[in-house]
Structure 1
Amino acid sequence: MRRVLPRWLRQIARGLVMTTLAGVSLASLAATCPWPDWDAFRRDTISPDGRVVDASTERQATVSEGQAYALFFALVANDRATFDKLLGWTENNLARGDLSAHLPAWIWGKRDSGPEAGTWGVIDDNAASDADLWISYTLLEAGRLWRERRFTALGTLVARRALREESAVLPGLGRTLLPGPVGFHPTPDSWRLNPSYVPLPVMRRLAAALTEDRGWQAMVESAGRLIVDTAPRGFSPDWVLYQKGAGFRPDTDTQATGSYDSIRVYLWAGMTAAGDPLRAGVLRTLHPMADYVLANGHPPERVDTQAGTFGPNAGNAGFSAAIAPFMLAQGQPDAARAQAQRTRTLAAQSPSGYYGQVLTLFGLGHVDGLYRFEADGKLVPAWNTACPARR
Structure 2
Amino acid sequence: MSASTAVIMTPPAADAASGGTVRLPVLPSRLAAGAACTGGSAEVFSAVPWEQQNLQLAGTWRFGGGAGVTVAVVDTGVSLKAPALAGRVTAVGGAGEDCVGHGSFVAGLIAAAPARGVRFAGVAQQARILAVRGTDDRGTATGTTVADGIRAAVDAGAEVIEVSPALSQDSAGLRSAVSYAAGHDALIVAAAVPDAADDATSSAPPARDYWPAADSGVLSVIDADAQGERPERAYRPRSADLAAPGDGVLGIAPEGKGHFIGSGASLAAGYVAGTAALVRSAHPALSAAETARWLTTTAYPADVPRLDPFAALTSVPGAPATRAAPHSGSAPVRLATDESGARATRRALLLAGAGGGLVLVVVWAAAVVPRGRARGWRPARDEAPTR
The structure whose Rg is larger is 1
- TM-score for both structures, normalised by structure 2: 0.33
- TM-score for both structures, normalised by structure 1: 0.33
